[in-house]
Structure 1
Amino acid sequence: MTGGGLFLTFEGIDGSGKSTQARRLAEFLRTQGREVVLTREPGGSPGAEEIRRLVLEGDPDRWSAETEILLFTAARRDHLERTIQPALDAGKIVICDRFADSTRMYQGLSRGDLRGLVDQLHELMIKREPDLTLLIDMDPETGLSRAKGRQGSEERFEDFGPDLQRRMREGFLGLAKEFPERFRVINGNRDMDSVAADVTDVVMQALR
């Protein structure tokens, strides 16, 4: 931990329910009297939210994978400086919907073999991993159907189609094996209450 706080992240394919689970966890921890900052990526700070609009809206081929990596890293650096690190230094729990693992997957794996570049930039500019990462594992077809059903403007990555979702799921599970000390895989193919119960159990164990 840094500064007495705890840095938690949620990861998973689009439509896995991670955003809902992050929000529910934050609400639960606040009822326990804990100070919680709920944030997201890309975004989480004014500058990073501006970059979010650039990368999540528009044509799927709007940016090259290399350009995306630079944009996401810039957004993450601003987010870390202005939101995450100050909260951790104040001893708060930070819950973030996506972090560097998503960039390792979506840009580093899906659009060319650029994982090494993602990790190099991360080491150079971010130098921070979560204390605990909760991977909500979801059937790719179900997840994509849920994601497309939202009918929002931020569907650029969903528009890459089901093949990307399948590769992302495999990639996230691979990351869980690569970093077993911080990853916990939770079955997202269940009702929200059952998933939330497992999330709460894992987090409360980490807080003991």
Structure 2
Amino acid sequence: MGLFITLEGPDGSGKSTQIRRLAERLGSLGIQVHTTREPGGTPISDQIRAMLLDPENSSMVAKTEMLLYAASRAQHVAEVIRPNLAAGRVILCDRYIDASLAYQATGLGIPLEQVRQINEHATDGLWPTRTYLIDVPSELGLQRAASGRGKQLDRIEQRDLDYHRRVREQFLQIASQESERIVVIDGTQSIDAVTEAIWQDIRQFL
């Protein structure tokens, strides 16, 4: 079996950059790596992603959002994650179930256990071996998202600061409750420092 690693964090935390760097370093060691993201990762999941993030879909209710994320994840796990794990590859995934617990449960007020149960069903109970939570203050993350994209913020990013603060607080709470799986990384450090902090931990699994 391969190794399933996820990166989580508030918007603008730098997850995509770190996944790219980790993939390059692992690849340089001759390790087979598959990078992916959520929502998305498959043609069907990417179509769901477009619906979820489109600012035009402002009327989408919380329950619909939660179920669409779970549907995208079910397809992603079946089509991409499990086959790559079975092939012995390292999976680096940008967001997973923890994101739904933060963004849809705490962020939107859906009962946490309901979100957890639906996603357990969608994934047949598949959880990552290790999760790196890149933590940044909500204000900084949103500034980075706005300045780094050079485009309009997506539907989720456009929500108010209080929402994003709730999301961050839930990420940190999950990390404190699941410290054996989740490692919190200070995302206000330099990009190189964040990469090195993750690398020093990930080496134990190689």
Q: Considering the TM-score relative to the shorter chain, is it more than 0.5?
A: yes
Deviation at 1:153, TM superposition (A): 4.9
TM-score, normalising length: structure 1: 0.94
Deviation at 1:191, TM superposition (A): 0.9
The residue aligned with 1:73 is 70
Deviation at 1:59, TM superposition (A): 4.0
Q: Which runs of 5+ in 2 are unaligned?
A: none
Identity across the alignment (%): 42
| SS of equivalent residue, structure 2 residue 158 | helix
The reply on whether 1:109 has 2:79 as its aligned counterpart is no
The 5 A counterparts of 1:79-158 are 79-126=76-123, 127-149=125-147, 150-153=149-152, 155-158=154-157
| SS of equivalent residue, structure 2 residue 131 | strand
TM-score, normalising length: structure 2: 0.95
| SS of equivalent residue, structure 1 residue 33 | coil
Q: Which runs of 5+ in 1 are unaligned?
A: none
Q: Which amino acid aligns with 1:98?
A: R
**Aligned partners of 1:56 and 1:154 also within 8 Å:** no
**Aligned partners of 2:39 and 2:45 also within 8 Å:** yes
**Aligned partners of 1:69 and 1:103 also within 8 Å:** yes
Residues 89-110 of structure 1 show CA distances to partners (whole Å, capped at 9, x for unaligned) of 0000000000011011111111
The residue aligned with 1:187 is 186
**Aligned partners of 1:9 and 1:98 also within 8 Å:** yes
Deviation at 1:114, TM superposition (A): 2.5
Q: Quick one: structure 1 residues 74 and 202, their matched pair in 2 at CA, closer, same or farther if it must change by over 3 Å?
A: same
The reply on whether 1:172 has 2:166 as its aligned counterpart is no
Q: Quick one: structure 1 residues 113 and 71, their matched pair in 2 at CA, closer, same or farther if it must change by over 3 Å?
A: closer
The reply on whether 1:53 has 2:39 as its aligned counterpart is no
| SS of equivalent residue, structure 2 residue 106 | coil
Tell me, in whole angstroms, the C-alpha distance in 2 between the residues paired with 1:176 and 1:30: 28
**Aligned partners of 1:10 and 1:135 also within 8 Å:** yes
Q: Which amino acid aligns with 1:183?
A: I
